[in-house]
Amino acid sequence: MNSHLIIGTAGHVDHGKTAFIRHLTGIETDRLRDEQERGITIENGYAHLTLTNQVTVGFIDVPGHERFIRTMLSGATSMDAVILIISAEEGIKPQTVEHFNIIKHLDIQKGILLITKCDLVSETALSTLEGELTAFAKDSIFEGMPILRYSIYDEACKEAVVDILMKWSMHETPDKSTVASRLYIDRVFTVKGFGTVVTGTLLEGKIKKNDQLMLYPSGQSVRVKGIQVYGKPSEVAEYGQRTALNISIDHQLVQKGDLITSMVAFEPTMIIEATFNADELDTPIVHWQRLKLHHGTREILCRIAIGTENRVESHSQSTIQLRLEAPLYAKPNDAYILRSFSPMKTLGGGKIVRVHPPKRAIHGITEATNTDITEVMDVISRLPLFFTLNDHFYSQLSLTVNEVDQIIQLLTQHGDLVILDQKIIKFETLERISDLIIEELQREHKAFSLRVGCPRETLRSRTNSRIKPLVLDKSDFNALLSRLVQLNLIKETNGVISEVHFKVDYTPEMKTVMDRIYRIIDEHSQQLVPINDILSLGNNKNLTKEMLYHLINREILVRINEETIMRAALYLQCKEALMAYFENHDELTVADYRDLIGFSRKGTVLLLEHFDGIALTKRNENSRTLIKK
């Protein structure tokens, strides 16, 4: 019998993974403030449950959002079993499929298909979904595995899951306690009074307090000052356990993805040979294509050497080599995943066969061409962010125009260069700036949680301030934003940019302020309410102001001028009355309109001046006419 198990939850964003673990274990895995406020898992979360037979089950709650697939992979490589979660309301979604494929490649042998939120749909809908999942699981580890219905309001559901966990715990797994210890770091932080702490899942071996271990790739020796297993102090950590190590090294010298091991001389490799099982591919993978390798908790850029086949087709099986752009600390039989660049998508995965293989011949790229490629890339590195193939570009090279064009085409096919709006940019530059744009949006959402997002030009200015002395002009920045929209990473609403999944989550204080604003407007003696009358009431003036403009942006309120607002529903009635009047009349006076809407003269004038300002009407001395459009 095992003393512990690692269980992962996987599935599409907002399908109830975190709520399921909270219900099962009583532990909240969304530890970040942003996760709790936005209702979305960003980092892997961890919880545990001790069964009646004293087996400890550790849970890894992985993110479902597409952008966090990399984070999900860092947790998935250490799982003994997985619970794939599907919402009864939404069914099988894109990240359900991607997580499902990742699980297949990581050779996880046990699983459950768990239908959450089953209390929110009909029996017919549940039966239909169960049939879809049975078909979906065919020819995978999930074929024949339990399909369970789950509601966090039903204790019987919890008992059904625990029964399965008990059965899993009774089956022995291969003994890895005698081999060298290996832990890939997924978190690094400091604790006051203790120093540097790293966490991860111990894949192999044991780690004891005061052990002297090696940290790679730095090659530094570190002492284990303290150990926690599932949040409790321990003298020893065993393979398969979620572990926190207090180590004797400055935290700035440790990174997520580093390896802690008892192997004193662990030689890294820059080439691996591996089996590869391809998923459904939008286009075949071509020889020497640039990809992303995920192993342990690391992501490394690489080139794929396919050999004589020159391409990998959907659902095919092959043996490949990967030429890495950074050293990898791995062992034969380790699982890995390959992902594409843009759009980021899981392509397949497999197991490492050899970690120091001889190089395969690289077909189609000669040594002379490699020299020419270096010359072209050297010129590109001195250019602005975006460039075009013009006379000035060609004049800086010793090659012919045709030779340069062929190299540019080759680099574009392999993902080193990207063409956007008829201009060219290096892929790594494109990704770096794209990440900066997302970071700026995250800062905006965190600082101003009531705002829809960041205005386009403000976002461009902030991005440029972080890439100085280089500058993005409007057209290049717009091309970048269009790409991020296509990748479903951002969205635009009336010139305001936000992360695609951002939504306002009102706190109790925000709801109180919102209700107070509505009450002031409803009880005010005027239909057009002065903004200062709203801001003058309540203790939190800044929050009141943010909420006021949030309601204006959501078109619940309408700003008539700099000083006044009104309810959007009433505004629409007034506008419809105006348009109806002009169906039978050519001119409108203040008195005519006052009689129509029942406002005071002052309010009527302000509203008509607003219509003038938005070019709906035109003032002609004492009357107004409708502007024909």
Domain borders along the chain are 4-169, 182-261, 270-354, 374-505, 509-626
Q: Tell me if 365 sits within 8 A of 288, measured CB to CB.
A: yes
Q: Binning pLDDT at 50, 70 and 90, where does residue 123 land?
A: very high
Domain range 374-505, its CATH number among 1.10.357.10, 1.10.150.110, 3.40.50.10440, 1.10.10.10: 1.10.10.10
CATH superfamily of 270-354: Translation factors (2.40.30.10)
In this structure, is the dihedral angle defined by the CA atoms of residues 85, 86, 88 and 90, taken in order, positive or negative?
positive
Indicate whether 207 pLDDT > 90. yes
Q: What value does the mean pLDDT take over residues 466-485?
A: 89
Q: What value does the mean pLDDT take over residues 365-389?
A: 76
**Type of residue found at 154:** D
> Full-prediction pTM beyond 0.85?
no
**Of 92-106, 278-292, 423-437, 450-464, the least confident:** 92-106
Judge if 4-169 and 270-354 fold alike in CATH terms.
no
- CA nearest neighbour of 437 among 497, 523, 496, 506: 497
Per-residue confidence (pLDDT) for residue 359, from 0 to 100: 65
**Of 255-264, 359-368, 400-409, the least confident:** 359-368
Indicate whether 44 pLDDT > 80. no
Per-residue confidence (pLDDT) for residue 67, from 0 to 100: 41
What are the tens digits of pLDDT across the range 478-520? 999 999 998 888 998 878 898 888 877 777 888 888 888 888 8
For the domain covering 4-169, report its CATH number: 3.40.50.300
Per-residue confidence (pLDDT) for residue 35, from 0 to 100: 28
What are the tens digits of pLDDT across the range 281-334? 989 998 878 899 988 888 888 888 886 667 899 999 998 999 888 889 998 888
Per-residue confidence (pLDDT) for residue 76, from 0 to 100: 52
**Of 54-63, 255-264, 617-626, the least confident:** 54-63
Q: What value does the mean pLDDT take over residues 433-448?
A: 88
What are the tens digits of pLDDT across the range 267-286? 898 889 999 999 989 899 98
Q: What value does the mean pLDDT take over residues 373-385?
A: 83
- Greater pLDDT, 574 or 8: 574
Per-residue confidence (pLDDT) for residue 365, from 0 to 100: 45
Considering only CA atoms, give the Rg of the chain.
Answer: 30
Q: Binning pLDDT at 50, 70 and 90, where does residue 215 land?
A: very high
Using DSSP's 3-state secondary structure scheme, residue 456 falls into helix
Per-residue confidence (pLDDT) for residue 589, from 0 to 100: 93
What are the tens digits of pLDDT across the range 87-109? 999 999 888 888 888 888 877 78
- CA nearest neighbour of 40 among 16, 20, 58, 22: 16
Indicate whether 182 pLDDT > 80. yes
Per-residue confidence (pLDDT) for residue 7, from 0 to 100: 84
Tell me which fold the domain 182-261 belongs to: Elongation Factor Tu (Ef-tu); domain 3 (2.40.30)
Per-residue confidence (pLDDT) for residue 91, from 0 to 100: 93
CA distances from 327 to 260, 265, 295, 301 (A): 15, 14, 12, 10
Indicate whether 161 pLDDT > 70. yes
CATH 1.10.10.10 at 509-626, yes or no: yes
Q: Tell me if 563 sits within 8 A of 531, measured CB to CB.
A: yes
% of the chain beyond a pLDDT of 90: 31
Quickly count: other Cβ atoms within 10 Å of residue 46's Cβ: 23
Q: Bridge-partner residues for 216, per DSSP?
A: 259
Per-residue confidence (pLDDT) for residue 34, from 0 to 100: 35
Alpha-carbon gap, residue 311 to 374, rounded angstroms: 25
CA distances from 493 to 67, 485, 614 (A): 21, 12, 20
- Greater pLDDT, 76 or 550: 550
Per-residue confidence (pLDDT) for residue 36, from 0 to 100: 36
What are the tens digits of pLDDT across the range 589-627? 999 999 999 999 999 999 999 999 989 999 998 899 998
Per-residue confidence (pLDDT) for residue 309, from 0 to 100: 66
Per-residue confidence (pLDDT) for residue 609, from 0 to 100: 93
* Phi, psi of 405, deg, nearest 5: -60, -40
Peptide bond into 343 cis (omega under 30): yes
- Greater pLDDT, 577 or 449: 577
Q: What value does the mean pLDDT take over residues 117-130?
A: 92
Per-residue confidence (pLDDT) for residue 216, from 0 to 100: 94
Q: What value does the mean pLDDT take over residues 57-83?
A: 61
What are the tens digits of pLDDT across the range 351-376? 898 888 876 544 444 444 667 887 88
Indicate whether 32 pLDDT > 60. no
Q: What value does the mean pLDDT take over residues 216-242?
A: 88
Q: Which helix (H) or strand (E) holds 493?
A: strand 490-493
DSSP string, 467-490: HTT----HHHHHHHHHHHHHTTSE
Q: Binning pLDDT at 50, 70 and 90, where does residue 395 land?
A: confident
Residues 6+ apart with CB under 8 A from 355: 269, 272, 328, 330, 331, 332
Q: What is the mean pLDDT of the chain?
A: 84
Alpha-carbon gap, residue 202 to 479, rounded angstroms: 44
Q: What value does the mean pLDDT take over residues 377-401?
A: 84
